[in-house]
Amino acid sequence: MSSRTFADAGVRNYAVVTLAYWADTLADGAIRTLVLFYFSQRGYSALQVALLFLFYEVFGIVTNFCGGYLGARFGLKSTLFLGLGTQILALGVLALTPADALTVAVVMVSQAFSGIAKDLTKMSSKSAVKLVAGESQGRLYRWVALLTGSKNALKGVGFFLGGLMLSALGFQTAAACLAALVALALVGAALFMRGGLGAANKKAKFSHMFSRNRAVNFLAWARLFLFGARDIWFVVAVPVFLASVLGWQFWQAGGFMAAWVIGYGAVQAAAPALVRRRTGGEPDGRTATGLAFALALFPAGIAAALGLQWSASVVLVTGLILFGVVFALNSAVHSYLILAYTDHDKVAMNVGIYYMANACGRLVGTLLSGMLYQWGSRSGPHDGLLWCLLGSTALVLAAGCLSLGLPGRLPATAPAR
């Protein structure tokens, strides 16, 4: 195959992978909002709602750990298709289960499959970018930022779509429509993808999943605390606070969360230009460290403003927007660094480790969000959110301290070893 043909195939596959990832992300965001508001409407407490997502996060951890090995052993195309197929199964369970049989156990099992699907698809898509971007660090950073930013924008659309579909169509019909969307993406990927996504390595061993790369390990731990710091207040505390304390309608709360995530995704997509304007080059470990410590100022500031009894609506909306901008830049830098730190033959395994840490952070954040919000709310309507914000500050500071262990400048054209 000529270099021109190879490049064209790479761009084509990048587009196919991105579109498949978008469809899965849209469905994932929508079903999360559907579950959250549907069971909140049925009288479930904040902690009970958080527990509905327990298997989603737990199986996401397992999937990222094992998925990296599967991607290396059987190829990323196989794990991408497996992820999309599993998402159809997860949505089908919710769509076909009668309303009176839609128990907590059924939802948790469905969410387990959804967590497996989402992380298989994400690991495959992010790893594929490394393989099709070539050796240029600039192209790698731009393509990763575009994929990650657009994904989060689509997840935001999914949040809004979930709230809207719950009001207009009902739970089961909405789940069926989302299953059809993912099925269409699976068929499209099978028809239009050319070749594979990297060569399967039959010599890959499960023990290789334990990375010996110091930079990858430090980045993974920083990622865990960073995403725990976001989800400790965003996953359960914010939507429940908006609906139960501030009196927002479900579609309003879902719409605000959607707008936040869409804006967060837009900042991620623009991160290469924004960060390069300040650093003069590609980001490194020092960039991640500075952004983490800067991020800690926002949950701490929001908590202080709420403690002073400023307008909760103004403080929360403004604070979330500012937090989202800095968090998006930090997350985009992380997503670039994990690919820059790893070699081509280990990309699936190291990305698997990295997103396993990501899933661990979401699990910790989700559980703490429900627990701290419920416990804090016993002493006052604002105190639950206040506890979550203080927890977020502590977790961001931990991420900043771990980022101090990341290397400085990277080579201009080749991945760090």
Share of the chain above pLDDT 90, in %: 15
**Distance between first and last Cα of the chain:** 29
Phi first, then psi: what are they for 205, rounded to 5°? -115, 150
pLDDT tens per residue, range 162-199: 878 887 888 888 899 999 999 998 998 888 876 655 54
pLDDT confidence band for 200 (50 / 70 / 90): very low
Ordered domains of the chain (ranges, CATH):
3-403 (1.20.1250.20)
Which of 333, 323, 357 is closest to 410 using CA atoms?
Answer: 333
Q: What is the mean pLDDT of the chain?
A: 78
Per-residue pLDDT reduced to its tens digit, 84-127? 998 999 899 888 888 778 787 888 888 888 888 887 887 777 66
- Distances in Å between the Cα of 67 and the Cα atoms of 77, 120, 122, 211 are 12, 6, 10, 14
The pair of structure tokens assigned to 194 is 């050319």
Amino acid (one-letter) located at 380: G
Better-predicted residue by pLDDT, 70 or 382 = 382
Query: Does the pTM of the predicted model rise above 0.85?
Result: no
Query: What does each C-alpha distance from 185 to 12, 16, 18, 73, 81 come to in angstroms?
Result: 15, 9, 10, 24, 10
Q: How far apart are CA 110 and CA 91, in angstroms?
A: 7
| C-alpha triplet 383, 387, 393: angle, nearest 5° | 140
Please determine, for residue 326, whether its predicted confidence score (pLDDT) is greater than 60.
yes
- The pLDDT, as a whole number, for residue 17 is 77
The pLDDT assigned to 134 comes to 57
| C-alpha dihedral (99, 104, 110, 114), degrees to nearest 10 | 120
Return the minimum-mean-pLDDT range out of 22-26, 125-129, 352-356. Answer: 125-129
